[in-house]
Amino acid sequence: MHTDVHKTEITRRSLLSLLGWGAFFTTLAISVPASIRFLFPRVLFEKPSTFKIGAPDDFRINGNSEHQVYETWKAEHSVWLVKEKNRIYAVHAKCTHLGCTPNWFPDEGVFKCPCHGSQFNRSGVNFAGPAPRPLDRLKISIGKDGMLVVDKSRVYTFNEFDKQGTYVEV
Amino acid sequence: MKPNKNIWQSIRFSPLFKSIFRHGYDDTKQNKILQIRSNVFLHLHPVKVPAHAMKIRFTWCMGGITFFLFLVETITGILLMFYYRPVPEYAYQDMKYLEFDVPFGILLRNIHRWAAHLMVGTVMLHMLRVFLTGSYKPPREFNWVVGVMLLIFTFLLSFTGYLLPWDQLAYWAITVGTNMIRATPFIGHEGPFALLDKYNDVRFMILGGTEIGANALLRFYVLHIVVLPAAAIIFMAVHFWRIRKDGGISGPL
Amino acid sequence: MPLFVPLPLCSLVPLYKTMYHSKSKKHLVWPDLAFMEFLTAVALTIILIAWALLANAPLLEIASPARSENPSKAPWYFVGLQELLVYFDPWIAGVMIPSIIVFCLMMIPYVDCNSKGSGEYSFSLRKFAVINFIFGFLMWLTLLFVGFFLRGPSWQLYLPWESWEKVKDIEENLWSLNPAVGLISLLAYLALFIILPAVIKKDFYKRRGIARYAIVMLSLALMYFVPMKILLRLVFNIKYVLVTPWFNV
């Protein structure tokens, strides 16, 4: 038998071909996004994003500088607590260039990143190296029990530093 | 059957031996051809090659050495898998265990590591050689593309393996490497025109989390021992097949 | 002129000529080549075992997310890209440059129309291709070398005999070009690089056709932009050539 391919009428062969390829591409269209979704877990076994750091009065400035940087939570949570005269804020210990952990040099009053040499002053503002912006800050608030709570899931970049939640007045 | 002169002769001409190895070392042209033709491994080669294919000056032997190193990596890698658990709690311990307590553990690990470094180098030199001899020119264009894919697979194989010791060197090298992915335009959360946040961008997909942790280690392990080697083997098969189908090793016209 | 010339057709003629180069003398693979390969494998095995006995693979302390290694170096074959981070933002150094390199490498056989010099070492028959490829290859090696051997703590330049104990301070006053000036100079660079050769050497352009020519010249323009940007940074302290609200180059 001879089939004219230029005719648009539906033959048994063309219908089956359509069905076959249709099923193939439908399966593909469902399974590819599903496989990609598979790679994004619903639950993460990472450290909880909020943690208590103590009462506001626990933080005070030693000596006659205007800043005090607390390194207590750096090892576990990658956070520095900075106490200024009348505010406390949480600085994210993660270089804004490529995410290495900077180190705090109290004598110089400088955060230095070991990876590409970015440097930040005591309030986290970048002044040397490739870092594109100041160190980010994390949400800090006073909980119901009067204790300070840091929430790492909310990150503020430098143009949001005046927003509520970036610091606590004391 | 010939009279058996000694034990070797009796083995050599036994039906059992003959059923496995059909061809001896007879110096006849027919036998030399059969040696290649009838051996599943050796028939990767054609029976005859042009004279320049045997000159190291021409080939640098880099492709062959790379393939050999891939085999070394496969064997040592499989052996290391017997002792290595890709979990943050155990990975580093297992490295120490391999180093101090497993017989020949440190030797296997060293060979695996150094051969991997060597392989990245020989792949790059192989590419340089193929370029300098113009061997990508028609009809071998597509095989060059396959070769570029293999270069990438080699980089990725080495890179994914780099995380597995779970020491400071591994952790921070991979941190630096994967942090660049965040900066991918559109699909990375810190790149230009970012559309996604750190919980659903492309870096999250690769690491299975926002930081390098248990998921990332397991993913790199699976990529390192299954996904990438399988991909490399498929592409190598195509690569070698195409060399033959595109007229064998390139040479002056 | 059609905008898109079908690329792979640039030299179909010599295709079957290259398939079977019957001129050269043939050798049997068994036993000579097989034996050479066997010897190579034996030699390499000896080298690897000796190397493994002499030097241990590095194993530092257990991974600790809170404490960055100083310096944190990528594996040596990616250190070149890491070195580029000094001069480019991460989305260029870490994403665009490697992607473009891979794409350009894959395009080479489809844009190289020169059918001469196939299967032999020849500089004179394909000067253009060899010079540019070698330039790129050497640049890659140079970046690897600088990143691997010459970078110390805080990614500062330390010569091999300098002690890493010595702290080097970063005193840089980087500045960026005015956005308008930057945009104009960048466009001018691209335009000159892409148009000038076509005007001066018409033959060079005609042989390739517009599509192939555009791919070749754009790739080369991008490749030579990398050392130029590095020079601008090192000599004139320029951080960005082009500043936009969305990204910086």
pLDDT in tens, A94-126: 888 877 888 898 888 899 887 777 889 888 898
Nearest to B209 among A46, A98, A100 (CB): A46
Task: Indicate the burial class of C197 (C-beta count within 10 angstroms; 0-12, 13-18, 19 or more).
Answer: middle
Helix residue ranges per DSSP H, A9-119: 12-38, 74-77
- Check: CB of residue C14 under 8 Å from CB of residue B253: yes
CA torsion sign for B173, B176, B180, B181 is positive
**pLDDT at residue A58 in the model:** 80
CATH tag for A50-169 (out of 2.102.10.10, 3.40.50.1100, 3.40.30.10, 1.10.10.60): 2.102.10.10
- Angstrom distance (rounded) from CA C102 to CA C109: 13
- Check: CB of residue A99 under 8 Å from CB of residue A112: no
At residue C84 the predicted structure's pLDDT band, cuts being 50, 70 and 90, is very high
Residue A132 to residue C154, Cβ atoms within 8 A: no
Nearest CA in chain C to B182: C91
Min Cα separation C170/chain A (Å): 7
B213 belongs to a structural domain: yes
Q: A139 touching C, CB under 8 A?
A: no
H/E stretch holding C102 reads helix C97-111
- Check: CB of residue B187 under 8 Å from CB of residue B196: yes
Q: How far is CA B109 from CA B220, C56, C58, in A?
A: 18, 8, 10
Residue A45 to residue B213, Cβ atoms within 8 A: yes
Q: Report pTM.
A: 0.85
pLDDT tens, residue order, chain B (253 aa): 555 568 888 888 889 998 998 888 888 999 999 989 988 999 899 999 988 888 899 999 999 999 999 999 999 999 999 999 999 999 999 999 999 999 999 999 999 999 999 999 999 999 999 999 999 998 899 999 999 999 999 999 999 999 999 999 999 999 888 888 989 999 998 889 989 988 889 999 999 998 899 999 999 999 999 999 999 999 999 999 999 998 888 887 6
Q: Which chains lie within 8 Å of chain B at 3 or more CB pairs, if any?
A: A, C
Q: A34 touching B, CB under 8 A?
A: no
- The total of structural domains in chain B comes to 1
**pLDDT at residue B186 in the model:** 93
From chain B, pick out residues whose CB is under 8 angstroms from the CB of A44: 209-210, 215
At residue C111 the predicted structure's pLDDT band, cuts being 50, 70 and 90, is very high
pLDDT over 90 percentage in chain C: 55
CB pairs under 8 A between B and C: 263
From chain A, pick out residues whose CB is under 8 angstroms from the CB of B180: 98
- Angstrom distance (rounded) from CA A79 to CA A75: 8
State yes or no: pLDDT of C5 exceeds 50.
Answer: no
State yes or no: pLDDT of A5 exceeds 70.
Answer: no
State yes or no: pLDDT of C17 exceeds 70.
Answer: no
Edge-first strand order for the sheet with A110-112 is: A103-105, A110-112, A119-120, A126-128
- Angstrom distance (rounded) from CA B108 to CA A62: 54
Min Cα separation A75/chain C (Å): 5
Dihedral, CA of residue B22, residue B233, residue B221 and residue C79, to nearest 10: 120
Residue C144 is given by DSSP the state: H
- Check: CB of residue B237 under 8 Å from CB of residue B229: no
Rounded average pLDDT over C135-161:
92
Q: Which of B36, B64, B46 is nearest to B236 (CA)?
A: B64
Nearest to C86 among A112, A116, A132 (CB): A116
Q: In the numeric block, which tokens belong to residue B161?
A: 């393996």
Which residues constitute the domain of residue B238? 57-245
- Check: CB of residue B182 under 8 Å from CB of residue B122: no
Task: Indicate the burial class of B29 (C-beta count within 10 angstroms; 0-12, 13-18, 19 or more).
Answer: exposed
Rounded average pLDDT over C70-88:
89
Residue C243 is given by DSSP the state: B
Pairing verdict, β C26-28 and A87-92: unpaired
Q: Domain limits of chain C? A: 76-115+122-236
At residue C66 the predicted structure's pLDDT band, cuts being 50, 70 and 90, is confident
Q: Which DSSP string corresponds to chain B?
A: -PPP-SHHHHHHTSHHHHHH-------SHHHHHHHHHT-TTGGGS-SEEEGGGG-HHHHTTHHHHHHHHHHHHHHHHHHHHTT---SHHHHHHHHHHHHHTSTTHHHHHHHHHHHHHHHHHHHHHHHHHHHHTTTTSTT-HHHHHHHHHHHHHHHHHHHHHHHTT-BHHHHHHHHHHHHGGGG-TTTSTTSTT--S-TTTSHHHHHHTSSSSSHHHHHHHHHIIIIIHHHHHHHHHHHHHHHHHHTTSS----
Min Cα separation B191/chain C (Å): 6
- Angstrom distance (rounded) from CA B72 to CA B52: 27
- Angstrom distance (rounded) from CA B229 to CA B157: 7
Q: A41 touching B, CB under 8 A?
A: yes
B11 belongs to a structural domain: no
More confident residue, A10 or B143: B143
Considering only A3-12, B10-19, C75-84, C99-108, which range has the smallest mean pLDDT?
A3-12
Instruction: Report angle CA B69, B71, B74 to the nearest 5 degrees.
Output: 110
CATH number for the domain that contains residue B166: 1.20.810.10
**pLDDT at residue C13 in the model:** 46
- Angstrom distance (rounded) from CA C23 to CA B247: 13
- Angstrom distance (rounded) from CA A80 to CA A68: 10
**pLDDT at residue C1 in the model:** 38
Nearest to A128 among C71, C72, C170 (CB): C170
B197 belongs to a structural domain: yes
State yes or no: pLDDT of C10 exceeds 70.
Answer: no
Nearest CA in chain B to C32: B54
